[in-house]
């Protein structure tokens, strides 16, 4: 009889043809003795994502693609993948990132915890580029501080027991963004803390163009307002209005610098997009989260 699957690695994918093979190659290089599988949850890709994944059959244990196209969005894809997965532990990574060589060993070692998160290292065009993404050196962590409420971890390097995933009910599919934060908050509200696995590293790709960066950070801003709207009844604090005004002033004052200094442009675009997103989210969800 084949060994029961201990760990399922779930990858939500939508038009990930240009990037997913780097992730699959990194997963194929993992050295762990347990029984595991890789589930790619295709969210209705119209490119060659599925064909590219098929190239890795045989190189990855129990690799399969499942149809997760019923609802557009990464949360639905993650939930569909988790539903179809066989592992007692679910590990979530993204199609456009790359896990480190010993990632699975360290994540498997933490699987005794109901909720755990590895660490993230930002990647630019060149491996280890400290100034990638927003155009400045950034210190990444697998677990973000509570900021007065609860801790959070990103869903591109997150582990959860199947029992806890079922208890929570999966990722909230109605959120604009921040569904990973919401999942972590839901788990902590049930009494589970996030266990940190700093040696389990995922190389995270920032958005390559200013347009992509604006769209991402704008969605994050809208999502932040929605998170406050959803969780204020259980204690989530309202962001400081005075702090928001200071940040808005910073965005406006630094705009001329961003126009004439390319090195400052990505930083400004990211900050401005988040502020605009929060403003739009505040109006959409009838809260004050500037």
Q: What is the pLDDT of residues 90-106, one digit of tens each?
A: 999 999 999 999 999 99
Q: Are 178 and 234 in contact (CB under 8 A)?
A: no
> What is the reported pLDDT for 260?
80
10 pLDDT more than 90: yes
Tell whether pTM > 0.95. Answer: no
Taking only the tens place, the pLDDT of each residue in 157-179 is 999 999 999 999 999 999 999 99
| 256-268 pLDDT, tens digit each | 888 788 778 888 9
Bridge partner residues of 98 (DSSP): 203
DSSP 124: -
d(CA 181, CA 208): 24
Question: Which run of H or E residues covers position 47?
Answer: none
Sequence-ordered list of residues with C-beta below 8 angstroms from that of 238, at least 6 positions apart, any chain: 228, 232, 287, 288, 289
Cα–chain-centroid distance for residue 13?
12
Q: What is the pLDDT of residues 113-151, one digit of tens each?
A: 999 999 988 765 444 443 434 444 444 455 666 667 899
pLDDT range class, residue 277, cuts 50, 70, 90: very high
Measured from the Cβ of residue 255, the count of other Cβ atoms closer than 10 Å reads 11
Task: Work out the number of other CB atoms within 10 angstroms of the CB of residue 96.
Answer: 17
């Amino acid at each position: 009889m084949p060994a029961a699957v201990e760990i399922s690695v779930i990858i939500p994918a939508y038009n990930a043809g240009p990037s997913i093979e780097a992730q699959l190659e990194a997963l194929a290089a993992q050295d762990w003795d347990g029984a595991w599988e890789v589930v790619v949850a295709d969210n209705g890709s119209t490119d060659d994502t599925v064909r590219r994944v098929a190239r890795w059959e045989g190189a990855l244990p129990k690799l399969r693609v499942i149809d997760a196209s019923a609802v557009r969005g990464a949360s639905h894809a993650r939930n569909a993948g988790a539903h179809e997965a066989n592992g007692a532990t679910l590990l979530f990574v993204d199609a456009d990132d790359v896990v480190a060589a010993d990632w699975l060993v360290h994540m498997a070692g933490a699987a005794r915890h109901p909720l755990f998160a590895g660490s993230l290292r930002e990647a630019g065009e060149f491996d280890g580029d400290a100034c990638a993404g927003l155009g400045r050196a950034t210190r990444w962590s697998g677990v973000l501080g509570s900021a007065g409420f609860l801790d959070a971890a990103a869903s591109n390097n997150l582990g959860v027991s199947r029992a806890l995933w079922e208890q929570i009910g999966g990722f909230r599919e109605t959120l604009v963004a921040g569904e990973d934060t919401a999942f972590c908050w839901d788990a902590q509200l049930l009494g589970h803390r996030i266990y940190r696995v700093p040696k389990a590293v995922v190389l995270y790709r920032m958005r390559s163009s200013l347009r992509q960066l604006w769209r991402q950070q704008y969605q994050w801003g809208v999502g932040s307002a929605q998170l406050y709207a959803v969780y204020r009844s259980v204690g989530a604090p309202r962001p400081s209005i005075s702090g928001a005004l200071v940040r808005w002033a910073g965005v406006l004052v630094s705009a001329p610098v961003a126009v004439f200094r390319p090195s400052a442009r990505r930083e400004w675009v990211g900050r401005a997009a988040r502020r605009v997103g929060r403003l739009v989210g505040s109006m959409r969800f009838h809260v004050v989260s500037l």
